[in-house]
Structure 1
Amino acid sequence: MAKSVPKSKKCPCGAGPRYKDCCGRLHRGEARAETAAELMRSRFSAFAERDEAYLLRSWHPATRPERIDFDPGTRWVRLEIVREESGGPGDDKGTVEFRAHYLDGSTPGELHEVSRFVRHDGGWVYVRGKVS
């Protein structure tokens, strides 16, 4: 379950000034991601906010896990989009390479992944990623 977020909180994805007006609107179901990169940003924010329901909704049913096991010691702090390939409003598939920066306790770390996205039931969903 997602935790309550103050209305003025900065969005974890870094793209918008306020969570409620950026990824929050996707998490609440008020909007859908228009691009694969926007979905990637919203999924990063969902990990940062521990919004399991959104993560599962935005995951392709063929590869979706039953649940998300959040590490209580990990805090996701910054997303860096490295490269986008396709994934625009007129595309049916896309790839987003990113670096997700986190703190494990007080130790910094980074997850580098190339993620695949497709359109499913009219919206973008995450299929799978390759971590390097």
Structure 2
Amino acid sequence: MAENGSMSRRSSRPKRSAAPALTAASPCPCGLPAAYGACCGRFHAGDRTGESAPTAEALMRSRYSAFVAGDTAYLLRTWHPATRPPALELDPAMRWSGLEIVATTDGSAFHATGTVTFRARYRHHGQRGELHERSTFERVGGAWVYVDGTFIE
């Protein structure tokens, strides 16, 4: 059943394959010139290693990479407890294709809060799009977490 309660139709279009899995040696989706395992992947494994993003921008980049990787556990773990949804379901048709950090305010090791303005490009059902957002981050227990975001037109 479709979300609106109606039966979904089968498409005559060829079935789209899943996005390729990230490996430690893959280029990091966040756009920095490093392998995924040495860049955002190490934060995604943070529940096992105890490593967390050192700045608000690093957290923003790692969260973008988590969307690319489909890592909902990381996204929920790095969401502020006051604004975190009880569950998160990602759209399998969404293909993230690039991240541009536009601006940052505060968010360093010396700050308790910070903002990151970014553009994230995607394809959804073959249509190109861009998400332009100013995200707010805060330290909780010493670790950076995502609080909320404001869409920018």
Shorter-chain-normalised TM-score: which range? Answer: over 0.9
**C-alpha distance in structure 1 between counterparts of 2:84 and 2:27, whole Å:** 28
Based on CA coordinates, which of the two structures has the bigger radius of gyration? 2
Runs of 4+ in 1 over 3 A off after TM superposition: none
Secondary structure of 1:72's aligned partner: coil
| Change over 3 Å in CA distance of 1:28–1:100 after alignment to 2 | same
Query: Gaps (5+ residues) in structure 1?
Result: none
**Equivalent residue pairs, number:** 130
| Percent identity (aligned) | 50
Using the size of structure 2 for normalisation, the TM-score is 0.81
1:66 Cα deviation from its structure 2 partner: 1.0
Structure with the higher fraction of residues in strand conformation: 1
Selected match of 1:54 from 74, 81, 86: 74
Q: How does 1:1-132 map to 2 (within 5 A)?
A: 5-29=22-46, 30=49, 31-132=51-152
**C-alpha distance in structure 2 between counterparts of 1:61 and 1:26, whole Å:** 19
Using the size of structure 1 for normalisation, the TM-score is 0.94
**Letter aligned with residue 38 of structure 1:** A
Query: Gaps (5+ residues) in structure 2?
Result: 1-19
Indicate if the aligned counterparts of 2:103 and 2:116 stay in contact, CA closer than 8 A. Answer: yes
Indicate if the aligned counterparts of 2:24 and 2:41 stay in contact, CA closer than 8 A. Answer: no
